[in-house]
Structure 1
Amino acid sequence: MRLTGVSLIAIAMGCSMAGAQEGVAPAGSPDETLLLDPIILHAASGQKCRKVASPNGQDTDLPLCIGLGTERDGLPGATMDRAEFGRLPTGARVQDVIKRLPGVFTGGGPGEDKDARVLGLDKEYTRTTIDGIQLPDGGEKREFNLDRLSSSLVESVEVIRSRRAEMEADGIAGRVDIKLRDIPREREIAVQGAVGAPEGGDIQQWHSLTAGGMLNETFGAQGAVSWSKVPNIKTKTKTDKDGVTLAETEDEVKDVTSTDFLGDFLWQTDDTAVRFKPTWLNQVEDKDKTKAKYKSDGSFNGSETEAESKTKRTVGGAFSVRHDFDEAFSVFEGATLDARVAYYAGSEDKDKDKATYKADGSEEASKFETEWEEKNDDLLQGEVNLALPFEAGGAHNILKTGLLAKYKTRDKAKTKAKAGIPQAAGEKDVYALEEITIAGYVQNETEFFGAVKITPGLRIEATSLEATSAAGMTSDGDAIDLLPSLPFEVRFSEDWALSGGIARVVTRPKFDLLVPWETSGSDRTTIGNPDLEPERGWAYDVDLDYTSPHLDLGAGVFYRWISDRIEEVATGDEDDDGNPIYQSQNVGDGWTAGVILEERVGLGLLGLEALEGFSITSTQTFARSRLTEYDGTKRPFKEQPDFWGDVALVWSDPDARLSAALALNFTSEITSSGDNGDEVRDAELTLDAEVDYRLTDQITLFALAENLTGTERVKRKADGAVEVEEGARSVYVGLKGSF
């Protein structure tokens, strides 16, 4: 949708420095009369640069767009930029921004929320990119954890539900694209710092510094550094099958220290631009967990302790070149040629010790376990695109074609020892993968009468994957997908717009499922499946939007047809010990469909003086799904809620010095099918708040409170057992400024 999720109603009077950074004039300035509109709508990403194949003479004073990847433009979805999420309760990491987008909710344990889930589907159906590139991360589901990046380094976030042929097709639900802060036209320094503490935890803090700008018309540079230390505290209790008798308790403290460095260097002339964007992301997690066990009569039955240290690092960069052709090349006059090559290396190292104690407190030395794990990922990606504008039949066209090549590797090694004795590595614990993707596309954007735009296109993606297990077993698979797409946009008036699209899409399997491995547990044996087919589907999306100075409304409809759904199932076979064998297989075909609604109101339109300065925004997503297994069994998709939404209230005083925001997120009950029947996760409600006070035109004091509701995650097992997990409340106080 053009409406941006819970982009909470930009109170146009620049109530925080985030607004000031985007050019909002301070109260009392000559431009003050321009600030009375209580809602600012951002339909684009906020990147202020000249797009490819733009008409001659259009925005010639802007720098050339380069190294940003493709943008949503008129596709169904939503965009939120810094001017908007700066007015919301926004914490240290980017998940605090993404959870405000419509049609998206974030997964993970209470207080973590580090997985993006578009349309409520599992995270494996969503692809998260940074400037259009999917950076390597340690997850098996091809996800990028949202806590890896500081929110202070982000220019905008987009959820893109539909797609054009120029976009990669992987990710059936959609894509979340994070745009990094652009080089400002004027030299600028932006700083932010905050300290606080969660309930029962150590001091937490986060700080950032961004400095840069265009040195002249030719050269520009920017550097950014962010550092945060955020402890995550969780408690968990489990009851026995009667739902009452205490079976286990867990206390976990995880200190997460993140350091981010980003660089941005630009050289340009009137028709050529070169850009280099290096990246260094480092995150260290130190976790301590204690588990206490109890007998059915309530007596203490021993305990376990775990100490784990994990380091995740991503290092690399992207180099981009763009050239705009002039009249000297008559065939290509007005055309744009751009190319980008990127390389990123990711690593994840983990060490864990686990000790077991008897009820009398003595340690069971024979059960002491140590574990070491290492993952290494490399991504090499190159792309080239040519865009050629032309007029035909009274319509303006942009013909675009391009090629992409991507080479990705992963190596995983995991070792265990028990009582100091090395254990044999499981075949799933050691593997190597190589994946090659080659893609090409052609599309043509045609605009009629300045109001109707269609962009038919065809993309071809060919993938080749080779996997090697610990035992030296190898497997390989090749796939070629023809991926047509037809997005459209119709603007009926200044206030009304309709956008939509039809596209063929895919979701490629988890990495570790493709390795030929076998692992045995106490009650089952699980095996890999190198013969898995990607899940393929059709994506249908339509958004209708109404925008006006005080009222924005949006309604979107989505439908996904998904074939060859992948789930872990019992094969019907047994191992030598009589235990059932499980395997991830293509189990059936299904669909998910729903409605996304958005409402944003500047309450001043009611004409009541008491409501001046108040704005309210809400989004609601309703979803249903049905999977038909190959044996005829029908059931909903796993882990998808029927409803989720949010509402936020923003207020600014008449002098634009004091502002306050409340943001509420809600997710309905989630039912999933387990081996022993349906399991239920209770509905969840989370409330965040922020108060800003502008000390000067450059400096703002703020207070942020997260998880005021002390949200509990309650899971009710099919056998009657209940698991309750609770995250801590957190409060910060800090300063932010722009100079």
Structure 2
Amino acid sequence: MRSLQPTPFRRHHALCAALLAACGSPALAAEAELENERRATELDRVTVTGEIAYRDRSDATAPTLSYGLDYFQRFEPLTVGDMLKRVPSVGFVSDVLEYDGARLRGLDPGYTQILINGKKVPGAGGDRSFYVDRIPAELVERIEIVRSPSANRSGDAVAGALNIVLRDAYEFDGGYLRAGAMHFDDGKTKPVLGAVGSGEFAGGRLLGGVNVQGRHNPKRKRSDRFEAPGGDFVDREDQSDVRDGTDTSGNLSYTRDIGAGRLRLDGFYVRTDRTETEHSREYDHASSRARERLLSVNDQKVDIDQKNLVLGASYDFAMAGGRSEIDLGYARFDDDRFDTEQETGYDNEDSPPSFDGFEGTRILTDARDREFSLKLAHKREFGATRFEFGVDGVDKRRDSSLRTSEVEAKKEGQPLPPYAQFEHQRSRIQERRADPYAMLSGKNGRVDWETGLRYETTRAKIDLRSEENAPALRQDKDYNLLLPSAHLRFNPTEHDRFSASLARTVRRPDFDKLLPLTLEGEYGDNDFVGNPLLRPETAWGLDLGYERRLGRRGVVGLNLFYRKVRDLIEIAGTGRPSAKSLEDHEEAVEEFLDEHPGAGPVTPGYPAFDPDSFLFTAANVGDGAAWGAEFDLSTPLTALGLEHTGVFLNYSWLDSEVEDEFGKRRFNNQPRFVLNVGFIQDLPEWGVSFGASYRRQGGAYSRVLGEEVSTDYGADLEAFVEKRFGSQIAVRLTGSNLLDASKDEAFHKFDTFGDQVGRDYDEYERETETAGPVYQLTVRYAF
């Protein structure tokens, strides 16, 4: 499937390319010849072709990789997350078959900036991250990996930025219908339906699309728990975990030339209706056949209703010898969760095991995130130099509500009290930003350059109401940051390209770490309280790259990166005792006074207060660094006489160093490597294509107060076969997770800081999660 431009635009573009090829430099001629060849395969409307798509060579001076939808589409990705798992350096620590929080360079999702059409949007994560598996792949025109930012975009991109460019009415002509079904290993079948159309409307061009896709992910888990590594067995848990739901989405784009400028209106809406159901049984015997050793039955159901809405309006027009732009945006994210967890305990001394109590917890979570944005920008040429300046304004408000309630019963069949008495906590975080910037860029022979300054100003207000009628706690926090950037690209030949980038970036504190709310028992027996005075993390980043054109369509590249992070936010002690330590001491004092009436602190044997668990907080504690090498290859094997065979390979080696209260470690959950390799074979005389893709992610390690986790991931194999009927119909069968990928985790759990230092375990757990293959049959009809 191809997205096309209107015929007049294509003719003008082809004429310019031909002139460049005739009288320009050899490098420009080669690029123009490639562009003409690509355009020659396109008709006036969307068509079905067997042409293999490769990674695009970006014209941006900042280091950028560009992947069109065609690069991914043969494997029928459902979401942007499914697309991103194939590109360099993007890792995930989600559950099997889930790709939500993208980790560029393997770093926490909060270090990666997610943009939609170049604009930052709010998301579900308390770490300010955006779940990329909430955006259907069918809305996307291309994905850009921006390894180092420019001054005209927000600096929240320590690891880099992932720009999701949606389909545009000006560039897409015609339409198509898509219908299919997915079949899962538990026998469940889910529908996939979509339609996209574009054409002339009201003096401009209008594009509209709708997409409905079923989501289903049946997983199996087993956990074995021990007193310590190599220690005595404690219990095991067998669990089923099923994620089921439907994503419904729509998008509109309207473009029209008005006067000396161009008006563009766009928007998209995604609703996720999802249910997560877990059922598990715990036994005090390692054998799966020992059903009579039942300890408990646990059930958890989470109903999730999420809505994403993004609206934009921009007008680009000629002014004062240059071009100016006015850009308005509104983004909204709503997240409602209804979480019920119930546990029934059993006494397995009886045969069969008898009822031994019931406990239930209900948690209602509501989050509302709103962002209004305004951008004013002006560009103009001064000879061979371009000057751009402007200001970005953002007004963000995040409201969250958390209600919890617990019930219990001691006798089987006893009526349970209603989930009526909820503890209610509400918070609001407001941020207002005004970020002026200025950039200079130009071209000098074979050298392209760009440099700029961005000054980000932030005014934040944090309000917390921990009880229904309690007064709100307010904290204000302002900070300003100067973020310089510079990019250089050298083209020694028409095929070779060297690049270097230096930029300062920022990561703002997680919302959850800003709220001055005390959470008892958050880390083992230790409590945690947020810190509204946290400073943002900043980082200096260096990227060095080399890229070579292979023939007319292939590209190979190597990039080295380094990030030095300042004011790293980590968990730190306050020196104050935890609520549990205070409670234990009070109980000890009461017991002593019962035995020694009238005693006081000077009485021999009076309990001394010696807490072993404490209150911790988030603090700016020091520095960290991340570095690595990224290799990518995308090319046909024309040199071997296999012009209809395309191969794809990217490999990223990742490393880092952070120092916390326990010593040195890598950044939490950073995989040691990410590997993708695959091929596509086209048989044009038969109208058939087939291919396969293999992905592997290296092991990761995470250490926080009270818990250390080692994670290993199984390999993921996908394959497809496609049959085309003329230029309008394609039938495609894809299979994913063909190796029954697994996620294996080892949890080292401790009650207190001292226990963790001394390796005095509370529990050691090994968990394995697996899922079966998924098959999808899809029919596309182009018109």
Per the normalisation by structure 1, the TM-score is: 0.86
Counterpart check, 1:446 vs 2:490: no
Distance 1:729 1:317, change over 3 A: same
CA distance in 2, matches of 1:342, 1:674: 38
Counterpart check, 1:460 vs 2:474: no
Report 1 or 2 for greater relative contact order, CA contacts < 8 Å, sequence distance ≥ 6. 1
TM-superposed CA distance for 1:281, in Å, is: 1.3
CA distance in 2, matches of 1:258, 1:297: 39
Distance 1:727 1:20, change over 3 A: farther
Instruction: State the partner residue of 2:743.
Output: 713
Report the residue type matching 2:72 in the other structure: F
TM-superposed CA distance for 1:147, in Å, is: 1.6
TM-superposed CA distance for 1:109, in Å, is: 0.9
Contact 2:183 2:776 in 1 (8 A): yes
Instruction: State the partner residue of 2:558.
Output: 555
C-alpha offsets along residues 356-410 of structure 1, whole Å, 9 cap, x if unaligned?
A: 223368777752332221111111111111001121xxxx111000011101111
Question: SS of the residue aligned with 2:92?
Answer: strand
Distance 1:301 1:25, change over 3 A: closer
TM-superposed CA distance for 1:24, in Å, is: 7.5
Instruction: State the partner residue of 1:503.
Output: 503
Matches within 5 A, 1:478-517: 478-517=478-517
Distance 1:355 1:547, change over 3 A: same
How big is the alpha-carbon RMSD for the aligned residues of Structure 1 and Structure 2?
2.6
Instruction: State the partner residue of 1:618.
Output: 649
CA distance in 1, matches of 2:248, 2:686: 33
Contact 2:525 2:580 in 1 (8 A): no
- Select which of 255, 276, 282 maps to 2:244: 255
Distance 1:307 1:152, change over 3 A: same
C-alpha offsets along residues 458-496 of structure 1, whole Å, 9 cap, x if unaligned?
A: 100001111111232111211100111111111122100
TM-superposed CA distance for 1:223, in Å, is: 0.7
Counterpart check, 1:655 vs 2:643: no
- Select which of 712, 726, 736 maps to 2:780: 736
Counterpart check, 1:192 vs 2:178: yes
TM-superposed CA distance for 1:20, in Å, is: 8.1
Counterpart check, 1:144 vs 2:130: yes
Deviates more, 1:569-578 or 1:469-478: 569-578
CA distance in 1, matches of 2:719, 2:540: 39
Contact 2:345 2:357 in 1 (8 A): no
Question: SS of the residue aligned with 1:240?
Answer: strand
Instruction: State the partner residue of 1:210.
Output: 196
The structure with the larger Rg is 2
CA distance in 1, matches of 2:635, 2:176: 30
- Select which of 617, 634, 639 maps to 2:669: 639
Distance 1:268 1:76, change over 3 A: same
Counterpart check, 1:389 vs 2:389: no
Distance 1:297 1:104, change over 3 A: closer
- Select which of 390, 406, 416 maps to 2:394: 406
Contact 2:56 2:65 in 1 (8 A): no
Instruction: State the partner residue of 2:586.
Output: none
Instruction: State the partner residue of 1:425.
Output: 423
Distance 1:677 1:353, change over 3 A: closer
TM-superposed CA distance for 1:424, in Å, is: 5.5
Contact 2:55 2:68 in 1 (8 A): no
Report the residue type matching 1:312 in the other structure: Q
Report the residue type matching 1:554 in the other structure: G
Report the residue type matching 1:600 in the other structure: S
- Select which of 56, 71, 82 maps to 1:42: 56
Quote the sequence identity (%): 21
Counterpart check, 1:79 vs 2:74: no
- Select which of 298, 306, 316 maps to 1:312: 306
Distance 1:407 1:354, change over 3 A: same
Counterpart check, 1:273 vs 2:262: yes
Deviates more, 1:670-679 or 1:489-498: 670-679
CA distance in 2, matches of 1:601, 1:230: 33
C-alpha offsets along residues 83-127 of structure 1, whole Å, 9 cap, x if unaligned?
A: 32224x132111111111212223311101111111110111011
Counterpart check, 1:582 vs 2:582: no
Report the residue type matching 1:112 in the other structure: E
Question: SS of the residue aligned with 1:536?
Answer: strand
Instruction: State the partner residue of 1:5.
Output: none
Distance 1:485 1:574, change over 3 A: same
TM-superposed CA distance for 1:701, in Å, is: 0.2
Instruction: State the partner residue of 2:525.
Output: 523
Distance 1:23 1:347, change over 3 A: closer
- Select which of 560, 564, 568 maps to 2:567: 564
CA distance in 2, matches of 1:533, 1:201: 51
Question: SS of the residue aligned with 1:306?
Answer: strand
TM-superposed CA distance for 1:25, in Å, is: 8.7
Contact 1:698 1:737 in 2 (8 A): yes
C-alpha offsets along residues 600-632 of structure 1, whole Å, 9 cap, x if unaligned?
A: 34334224xxx5532221111111111245x79
Question: SS of the residue aligned with 1:83?
Answer: helix
CA distance in 1, matches of 2:242, 2:43: 37
Contact 1:237 1:246 in 2 (8 A): no
Report the residue type matching 2:177 in the other structure: V
Distance 1:161 1:363, change over 3 A: farther
Contact 2:457 2:479 in 1 (8 A): yes
